[in-house]
Amino acid sequence: MRTSLATLFRRTRNASRNPDSLRRPIGLPQALFHFLHPGLWETFFPALGMPVVRSAPTTRATLERAELISETEHCLPVKLLDAHLEDLAGRVDRVFVPRILSLRRGFISCPKLAALPDAVRAQFRGRFEVVTTDMDENRRPLEQTLAELGRALGFAPADSAAAARQALAAAGAPDAPPDGKRFLLLGHPYNLGDAYLTEPIVRKLEELGVAVERLPTGPPRGAPDPLRWDTSAHMLEALRALSSERCAGVIQLTSFNCGCDSMASTYYRETLKAAGIPYMALTLDSHTALAGLDTRLEAFVDSIAGRA
Amino acid sequence: MKPGLAIQPWGNYSLALAASVECLRVEPWTQRSTTPETLRLGVEASPEFACLSFKACTGHFIKAAQEGVRYGVMVNSRGTCRLRYYREIQQKILKERGLDLYVFGLGYDGIKPPLIRHFDPDLLPFLQCCARAQQKTLAVDALEKEAWRVRAVERQPGDATRVLNECLADLDRARTVPEIRACARTFKPRFRNVPLDEARLPLRIGLLGEATLLRDRFLNHNLEEILGGLGAEVRNFFLLGDEMRNIFRIGLFSRNSRWRLKRLARPYLEHLVGGHALDSVAHALRCAQEGYDGIVHVAPAGCMPEVSVRPILRRLSQDLDLPVLECSFDEHASHVGVVTRLEAFVSMLRERQENKTRTRK
């Protein structure tokens, strides 16, 4: 009830504004939530008639900037979000940062994502306005979330609903996995999706002549057992479906200080041990040295070749 | 012989927790704080990036199992924080090491928690026990408040801690509810006997953050006593009495009810985060309203909920002109480092206090 009243209030307030101000551009950081629903927000806002300004893709400089401006104890993806937002400051007067509470009914998201819009508001006060919405599949499905966001931004209900449908259709299906025996690259979507973080690893593995598959993005399908964090449960589900005939090994990309992985890795290790699949975890932070990664990947691939 | 039941050390609340399991006909196995040995055991056995609270508690269970304790009990939270998985992962760790200790979850698993189902106490002793535990919790809260106040202005360093320990020993011996109440009534007069330095103007510092670290004197390097010794009257914002009310949804309008805290925190944080992150933000605002001199935010390194509200605390600190010291602890934290930071913080606060009184004149 409270939410609907608030939405109503915001709608009337926004509608009284100049219609041009409704169509002011909105900034979308290419980090964190961008990788949870690839293509969703990039379609949704333009469908409403709001131009989208994206931050530049992650580079070494982004990483270094993130280390300087962000809370020291955050995990890498949240730090990177801050750097991407800083990139947008000055280019737009509002950015979008959702409050992600659950990606699928029955599951919950990492607690760090629940404070995100408030933390961003606190950190970037006066530099841009933060547009946000609660993404909570336990309360309402994604389509409704999008439609309500459209209405809250001052657009007509019919337009909002149409934009929501269009955005959901655009958030595409994952690529088909390669055939034959392969390595699985395991990790949260926001780590796997960032090309700057994964490209060197994929390239190195290809150099070593092994096929790699990235874990496709998506919410978990089954019931939460035992993990309730949605992205972690999705990873565990994927691991349980693996067989040692199809999978040569699993390489997990985890970010330093990732709270979910610190607990969930126990389950990953247990599952893979039972299935007889080799497993290695690579920890990423802003100091990650590529040469070190290369050595570890070579050693891992060599040791598996030796086993066979 | 009664079977042993390991309970996580939780500062002075440990004696209240121990009292709460009496009716189960078990011997509580707990300590007032983590020891270096249990922490070492925990660090060895735990996942590398698990939080300090997890490591300390795991170590406690391992040590208990080595001493022949058969059961343990762990909160089974339904929140978003890592605490939710503690029990299960600790059980796995114990099993891997070939230790025979079963950890009961204390959570919403049917009407009766599994622990109660297993030991099946009679109703009357059970209720009596709950009443005693509750009274002891409230007594500890009242006792600590006195100690914080007196420690900042005591003439002889260590007096307040000595009286606190004497009172705790008496409280531990008290068995029935009237005895506990009578014991609690003696606290204030006993502290009144401590000679005070009336001329000293204590600083007021709020301690907020994660519950285990706020209460475990070994894990937080004895923050309360260090700050007290530096002439600061601390106020630890984790009170188990209030927490219990929130868990059982009693007293919706009481001062520290979740509902009130949510309303208080709304200008800075619009949604529950998990753990005690919202409480930290709300209490920081309350400290500002009540004219505290500073805040120490305590969390295990990498604590998911507390770390995510740190940017908010920083903004709040600027807006309200309230200094916040962020203290993260892990097993590598050095005691000297902690003391130095606290000393620097207190001397900065002292200077601010003096500037303020000077401008007022």
A133 and A149 in contact (C-beta within 8 Å)? yes
A45 and A21 belong to one structural domain: yes
Rounded distance, CA B117 to CA B125, Å?
A: 15
Is B307's Cβ below 8 Å from some Cβ in A? Answer: yes
As a whole number, the mean pLDDT across chain B is 92
- Total domain count for chain A? 2
Tell me whether residues A119 and B312 touch, CB distance under 8 A: yes
User: What pLDDT, on the 0 to 100 scale, is given for residue A11?
Assistant: 47
pTM > 0.80: yes or no = yes
A291-297 LR contacts (CB < 8 Å, sep 24+): A293/A200, A293/A201, A293/A204, A294/A204, A297/A201, A297/A204, A297/A205, A297/A208, A297/A251
Domain boundary among A117, A143, A170: A170
Q: Is residue A175 part of a domain?
A: no
Amino acid in the structure at residue B337:
G
**A218 and A160 both lie in a single domain:** no
Instruction: For residues A53 and A146, state if they share a domain.
Output: yes
Q: Is B273 on the interface with A (CB under 8 A)?
A: yes
- d(CA B1, CA B3) in angstroms, rounded, equals 6
Is B309 in CB contact (< 8 Å) with chain A? Answer: yes
Domain final residue, candidates A170, A191, A222: A170
Confidence grade of residue B110 (pLDDT, cut at 50, 70, 90) = low
Same domain, A139 and A205: no
- Residue A253 sits in a domain of what CATH number? 3.40.50.11900
B82 to A263: CB separation less than 8 angstroms, yes or no:
yes
pLDDT of B292 above 90 = yes
CB contact set of A90 (below 8 Å; sequence gap of 6+): A127
Q: Any idea what DSSP says for residue B29?
A: E
* Alpha-carbon dihedral B103, B107, B111, B114, rounded to 10 degrees: 0
Task: State how far the Cα of A181 lies from the Cα of A183, in Å rounded to an integer.
Answer: 7
Res A15: pLDDT: 47
Quick check: B96 contacting A, CB < 8 Å?
A: no
Is A33 among the domain residues?
yes
Distance of CA B356 to the CA centre of its chain: 32
Averaged pLDDT for residues B147-153: 95
**CB pair distance less than 8 Å for B310 and A71:** yes
The radius of gyration of chain A's CA atoms, rounded to the nearest angstrom, is 21
Q: What is the pLDDT along chain A (308 residues), one digit of tens a residue?
A: 445 555 545 544 444 456 677 889 999 999 999 999 989 999 999 999 999 999 999 999 999 999 999 999 999 999 999 999 999 999 999 999 999 999 999 999 999 999 999 999 999 999 999 999 999 999 999 999 999 999 999 999 999 999 999 999 988 666 666 677 889 999 999 999 999 999 999 999 999 998 899 998 888 888 888 899 999 999 999 999 999 888 999 999 999 989 999 999 999 999 999 999 999 999 988 777 677 889 999 999 999 888 76
Same domain flag for A158 and A198:
no
The predicted pLDDT at position A178 comes to 66
pLDDT of residue A306: 82
Please determine, for residue B77, whether its predicted confidence score (pLDDT) is greater than 50: yes
**Average pLDDT, integer, range B116-145:** 91
Q: Is residue A278 part of a domain?
A: yes
Question: Is pLDDT above 80 for B314?
Answer: yes
- Residues A130 and A209 placed together within one structural domain of the fold: no
pLDDT at residue B106 in the model: 79
CB under 8 Å to A37, separation ≥6 — which residues?
A: A142, A171, A217
**Confidence (pLDDT) at A101:** 95
B215-269 residue pLDDT tens: 999 999 999 999 999 999 999 999 888 888 888 777 777 888 889 999 999 999 9
Same domain for A160 and A188, yes or no, is no
> Where does chain A show beta strands of DSSP type E?
26-28, 52-54, 94-96, 99-102, 129-131, 134-136, 182-187, 212-214, 247-255, 279-284
- Do A193 and A138 sit in the same domain of this protein? no
Q: Do A266 and B273 touch (CB under 8 A)?
A: no
Residue A224 forms part of a structural domain:
yes
Residues A21 and A101 in one domain: yes
Predicted confidence (pLDDT) at residue B109 exceeds the cutoff of 80? no
Peptide bond into A226 cis (omega under 30): yes
Examine residue A298 and state whether it is found in any structural domain, yes or no: yes
Same-domain check for residues A189 and A162: no
pLDDT at res. A223: 83
In a domain, A202, yes or no: yes
- Other beta carbons within 10 angstroms of residue B175's beta carbon come to 11
- Within 10 angstroms of residue B293's Cβ, the number of other Cβ atoms is 21
- Provide ipTM, 2 decimals: 0.90
* Burial tier of A114 (Cβ tally within 10 Å: 0-12, 13-18, 19+): buried
The answer as to whether A176 is a domain residue is no
Which domains are seen in chain B, by residue range? 4-120 (3.40.50), 202-361 (3.40.50.11900)
Q: Are residues A152 and A207 in the same domain?
A: no
Question: A111, B302: Cβ pair inside 8 Å?
Answer: no
Do residues B47 and A262 lie in contact, with contact meaning Cβ atoms separated by under 8 Å?
A: yes
For A70, nearest residue in chain B (alpha carbons): B311
**In 3-state terms, chain B is what percent helix, strand and coil (to 5)?**
55, 15, 30
Looking at A125, A149, A170, the residue that finishes a domain is A170
Is there a domain that residue A177 lies in?
Answer: no
How much is the pLDDT for B311?
Answer: 96
Domain of A249, in residue numbers:
182-307
Residue of A nearest to B308 (CA): A112
Residue B168 in tokens? 């705790």
Q: A90-104, A207-221, B27-41, B183-197 — which is least confidently predicted?
A: A207-221
DSSP secondary structure letters along A196-255: HHHHHHHHHHHHTT--EEEPPP----S---S--BHHHHHHHHHHHT--TTTEEEEEEEEE
Report which of A48, A259, A39, A273 is spatially closest to residue A168, judged by C-alpha positions: A39
- Residue A283, SS3? strand
A131: CATH:
3.40.50.11890
Residues A89 and A238 in one domain: no
